[in-house]
Structure 1
Amino acid sequence: MVAIANTTGLTAGERTTTAAGLWTVAFLGVTAGVQMSDRGLQSILSPAIQASFGVSDAVIGALHGIAGILVASALAVPLARLADRYSRKSILLGLILLWGMLTALSGIAPDFELFFIGRAASGITEFAMIPVVYSLIPDLVSDRHRVPSNLAFAALMATGASAGFYFGGNLLEFAGTIAPADMEPWRAALLCLSLLALPLLTIGLLVHDPPRGLPTGSERREDAALGPFLRAHQRRILLFLGAAGGLAIAVQAVAPMAAMGLVRRYASDLVPTGHALGLITLVTSLGSLAVAGIVDRFLRPRLGEASRPAVMAAGATLAIPCLIWLGAAPTEQQALAMIALFLALTSTANALIPTILQDIVPAELRARSFAIYSFVIAAFCALGPLLTGGLSDRAVGGNLLLAMAIGGVPALAAAAMSASLMARQRGG
C-alpha cells in the first residue's frame, strides 16, 4: 500500500464534486450494501441455523450481538487506524476480498463454535469498511454535497440490508435446489452470497482514491490528537453516546430476531415474512434519510446545533408506544405495522449521526474516530439481541416479540432523556 501524503490534499473550500467522486461514492454504497445484506440473510436463516446446531434463543442472540457486532467493531478500530495513514482504496479492496472468503468459510463450518468465529471475522470487514468510507466522502465531494453524499451512501447500504431480508427466503429455497444432498440449504445460501465479492473486486480496481484533505478552520489545531479531542468534548460525547446507545439497544433488540419472533408467534411462512421485513427495512431506511435531510434543512436555521439531538429525542420518544404494541400485537399484520413505524422513527433519529461526527472530528482523526464510535455503539448494539434472547429463554417463555418490548422500551426512554439534555446544552 502507498501512503497518501497530506501535502497533495485540498482544503475544504478547494474541493469540487466530480463525476469520478460521485461514482466512487455510489460504488462504496453498493459494496457496503452487499456486505450488509448478510445480516438480513442471517436473520432469515436463523431458524435453520438454530435447528442445525441445536442452540437456544440466547445463543442466537449472542450470534447477532456479540459475533455480528461487538467483536467485529472492536477489531475494526486498528484497521481504521491504517486507513488514516495509508491508501484507503487498497484497504477497501482487501476488506472486500476477506469478506467473501470469510462468508464462504462460515457456510462450511462443521460446528457452531467455528461458525460463530467465522461470522465474527466476516463482520470485522463490514465494520471496518464503514469508517473508511465516511473518511473518504469529505475528500470525494465538496462541502455542499457532503450531507447528500452521506445520506446516499447510507441509503445504498440500507438497500443492501433490506435485500438480505427480502431475498433471504428465496435464496434459501434456491440454495436447496442446487445444494448437494449432504449439504444443508442455509450453508449453500451463504456460499452463493460470498460469490458477490468477485464482481465487487473487479469493479473496485477502477474506483477513485482521492488525496487526503488538509485540515482547515477549526480542524487546524495543535491538539489534533484523539485524547485531547475527547477530553475537550467530554460532556457532549457522553450525552451523544447515551442517546445513540439507547437507540442502538432498542433497534438491535428488534431487527435481527424479528423474523424468528413473527414465525414463532404467528406460524408465518418464512418467505412472505422475509419479503415483508425486507420492504419495511428498505422503505423505512430510505424514507427516514429523506425525512432527516428535509427536517435538518428546516430546523437547522431555527434551532442551530440543538436541531439534530432534538430529532433524536423525538424519534426515541415516539417509538416507545410502537414497541409496547408490538409486544401484545394479536395479528402478524399489526406486528409488522409496529415494526415498520418503530424502524421509521428510530432510523430518522439516527440518520444524521455521521454528519454530526464529521462536523466535530479533525480530518486526520476521522477514520479512527468513526471506528471507535462504531465500537462503543456496538457494545450497546450487542445488548439488544442478547436482551431479547435472554428474556425469551428465562422470563417470557419463548415470546420473542414480548421480550423485544421489555428490553427495548427502557433503552428508548434513556435515549430520549440523553438527547433532550444534549439539545438543551447545544441550544443554550
Structure 2
Amino acid sequence: MHPLRLAWSTDRTRRWWRLPSCGLKSGVEFDERTSNIDPAIASRGDVVKRVTVHDVAAEAGVSLATVDRVLNGRSGVTTATAARVKDAVERLNYRRDLFAASLATGREYRFQFVVPSGNANTFMGNLGRAVEEEAERLAEQRILVSVDHYVAFDEVSLAERLAAIDTERVRGVAVVAVDTPRVKEAVDALVLAGVKVVTIVSDVIPSLRSHTIAINNICAGRVAGTLIGRFLGGREGEVALVSGSMALRDHVERRIGFEQVLLRDFPHLQILSPSEGRDDSGVTRPLMRRMLHDHPRLIGLYSIGAGNRGIIDAMEESGRARDIVAVAHELTIHSRQALISGSFDAVIHQNVTAEVAAAVRVLKALCDGQADVVQPGIPIDIFFRDNLP
C-alpha cells in the first residue's frame, strides 16, 4: 500500500488510484499506457472492455469511414455529423492507440533524448536506461528513439549537443534542460528548424519548447517543507538545503515551494542559504561535513537534487543522522538504504519510466499535428521506510 497511490492490475490495463494532493486531480488517474477505459466503470472494479472505433461509430450512428475522417481531421463530414462523433468519443472516453496508427500509416518517427551523463548521478543513470528500454520497446513500431549525453550542468556542452542534432532526420527532441539563455537559444533554433521539442524533468523558460514532462516541482518542495516541519514537532533550530545547481529550474522551483511552506507554517525554523552539491557525492560529502561542523543547531535537511550518497555518509559519520529530519528526492539504491537505516525520513520520487513514455507520446502527437495535446501530469510519489516497493 502506498500513502498517495494504490495500484492493482489485470492482464493488459494498469489502473492507478491517487489521493488528491498538491493540485492533482482527485479520483482515478491512469497510467500513460492505459487507454479507452471508462473511469466511472473502472472505479467500481467491474470487468471492462477496450473502447474501439466500432463502439464510437455505433454510438454516433455513423460509419467507420466517417469516424476515421473525423478523428484524422479530414474533409467530407458535415459539422453536425462531426459533432456527433466527437460527442460519442467524449461519452465513451475513447482514446486512440497512436502507436498502432503509426504502423497502419507506415510513418517513421525519430526522437532523440538529450540527458546529462549519469556517471555521478544515479537518477540520471536510471533516466538514460529508461530511454534505452523505451527505444527497444518501440523499435518495431517505427518509432526510433536514441539518447545522447552532455556534461551535467554544462550549458555549453548541452547547447552543442542540441546544435549537432540532424534536423532533417530527427523529428522530436526531449531534453533535460539547463535554464540559461544559451540553452534557450539552442532549443528555439531546433523549434524554428521544424523539430518538436519538449523538456523532461527540468525546464527552460521562456523558450519555444512545446511541453514539459515533469512533476510539479513547486508542489514537491511544499511537500518537503510540510514533512520536515511536521516531523520536527515544534523543535527550534536550523534547516539546510542542498541542491545540485540553481541553474536547474526544477531545483529552483523546489526551493521556492519549500521556503513558502516553512516561512508560512513554521516560522520558528531558520532556513540556511542553499548549498550546491553538483549532484555529485564527491562534492556533497565534504560539503555536508562542513555544514554539520559549522551548524550544531542543524535539525532539518532538504536534499533537493542528487549526491545523496555523500550526504548520507557525512550524516552517519557525525552520529547525528537520527537527530536530523531529512527529506530527499528520488528513490535509488542509496536513498532506499537511508530510509531503511533511518538516516532519511522520506523520499519524494518521480517515475522516470512514465516520464519517458509520456515524452514519446507527446512528441508523436505533436508530429502528427494534433492540436489538443494535453500536458501530461507526472504524479509525485512519497516513500517512507514502511511503504518501500
TM-score, normalisation: structure 1: 0.22
Which structure has the highest helix share of the two?
1
- Larger RCO (alpha carbons 8 Å, 6+ apart): 1
TM-score, normalisation: structure 2: 0.23
Larger-gyration structure (1/2) = 2
Which structure has the highest strand share of the two?
2
